[in-house]
């Protein structure tokens, strides 16, 4: 199998506190993998390591066979949604996405508009991002993650703060991305969503990444 993402012996410490210990993870191209765990267990740190936003204390990360920090600094062709993305507050949502799209210059304004419409944002809305609600910012972040049609998607809590209709829409978008054989890494505190969407599920407990067992499943289903 061709692996889109590979983590070998990844550990991460912050000021001597070991958040992640010897993580091994292989994600095949086209797979959707869910990561669950309690608050502060290290899910976001794991995702930031894969995106190249945080450097591991030890171990190796490969994205499409390329070693992060050696062959590449940042993984290319990865759509990222990490909570509370930073935007230029005085720009509209569309202008923010236009600004970000200009970095790689791969997509047209029409594609940006389409991504915004998919998550229920009006690209013609001139409101500044500083006046956006939390849910609108969340939608903008998801539009950003999917707008370039990347084949790897890292989605950290994509369902947070969404109204019911947008939550359903985002779930449908993820299902559609799965059908298109995208590789997706997903977290959510709603275990039912993870179970519905993911081919494989792992738990982070005490810094270790372990496959979901019935014991953990019962624990998460209670929530």
CA dihedral 95, 100, 101, 104 (to 10 degrees): 150
- Are 38 and 191 contacting, i.e. CB atoms less than 8 angstroms apart? no
- Choice from 7, 19, 78, 136 touching ligand ATP (CB under 6 A): 19
Instruction: Name the one range near ligand ATP by CB under 6 A: 33-41, 72-80, 161-169, 178-186.
Output: 33-41
Residue 5 pairs with which residues in a beta bridge? 27, 63
Identify whether the C-beta of residue 168 lies closer than 8 Å to the C-beta of residue 175: no
Give the integer Cα–Cα distance in Å for 211 and 191: 14
Residue 198 backbone dihedrals phi, psi, to 5 degrees: -100, 145
Q: Kindly give, in sequence order, each residue whose CB lies less than 8 Å from that of residue 106, ignoring residues fewer than 6 positions away.
A: 148
Binding-site member from 5, 25, 34, 44 for ligand ATP (CB under 6 A): 44
Asked if 39 touches ligand ATP (CB under 6 A), the answer is yes
For residue 148, the minimal CB distance to ligand ATP (Å) is 25
Residue 97 or 197 with smaller CB distance to ligand ATP: 197
Residue 119 Cα to chain centre, angstroms: 16
Q: Are 204 and 41 in contact (CB under 8 A)?
A: yes
- Please say which residue, 59 or 120, places its beta carbon nearer to ligand ATP: 59
β-pairing, 32-36 vs 183-187, is parallel
Least distance to ligand ATP from the beta carbon of 157, Å? 7
Between 39 and 105, whose beta carbon lies closer to ligand ATP?
39
Q: Tell me if 14 contacts ligand ATP by CB under 6 A.
A: yes
Stretch near ligand ATP under the rule CB under 6 A, chosen from 37-45, 93-101, 119-127, 178-186: 37-45
45 binds ligand ATP (CB under 6 A): yes
**With contacts defined by CB under 6 A, how many residues of the chain interact with ligand ATP?**
10
* DSSP for 181-195, written as a single string: T-EEEEE-S-HHHHH
Q: From the list 23, 33, 36, 41, which residue makes contact with ligand ATP (rule: CB under 6 A)? A: 41
The only residue of 10, 25, 32, 43 in contact with ligand ATP, by rule CB under 6 A: 43
Q: Is 51 in the site for ligand ATP (CB under 6 A)?
A: no
Contact residue for ligand ATP among 34, 42, 56, 75 (CB under 6 A): 42
The string over 8-18, giving b where at least 16 C-beta atoms fall within 10 Å of a residue's C-beta and e elsewhere, is eebebeeeeee
Q: Under the rule (CB under 6 A), what is the footprint of ligand ATP?
A: 14, 19, 37, 39-45
């Amino acid at each position: 199998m061709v692996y889109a993402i590979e983590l070998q012996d990844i550990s991460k410490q912050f000021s001597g506190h070991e958040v992640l210990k010897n993580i091994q993870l292989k994600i095949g191209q086209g797979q959707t993998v869910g990561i669950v765990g309690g608050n502060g267990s290290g899910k976001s740190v794991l995702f930031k390591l894969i995106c190249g936003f945080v450097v591991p204390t030890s171990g190796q990360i490969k994205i499409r066979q390329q070693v992060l920090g050696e062959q590449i600094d940042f993984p290319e062709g990865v759509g990222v949604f990490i909570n509370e993305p930073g935007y230029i507050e005085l720009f509209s949502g569309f202008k923010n996405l236009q600004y970000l799209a200009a970095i790689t210059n791969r997509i047209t304004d029409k594609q940006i508009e389409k991504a915004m419409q998919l998550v229920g944002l009006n690209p013609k809305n001139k409101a500044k991002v500083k006046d956006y609600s939390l849910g609108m910012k969340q939608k903008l972040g998801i539009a950003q993650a999917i707008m370039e049609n990347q084949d790897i998607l890292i989605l950290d809590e994509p369902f947070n703060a969404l109204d019911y209709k947008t939550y359903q829409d985002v779930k449908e978008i993820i299902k559609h991305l799965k059908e298109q054989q995208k590789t997706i890494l997903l977290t959510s505190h709603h275990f039912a969503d993870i179970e519905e969407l993911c081919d494989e599920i792992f738990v982070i407990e005490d810094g270790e990444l372990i496959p979901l067992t019935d014991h953990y499943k019962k624990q998460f289903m209670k929530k």
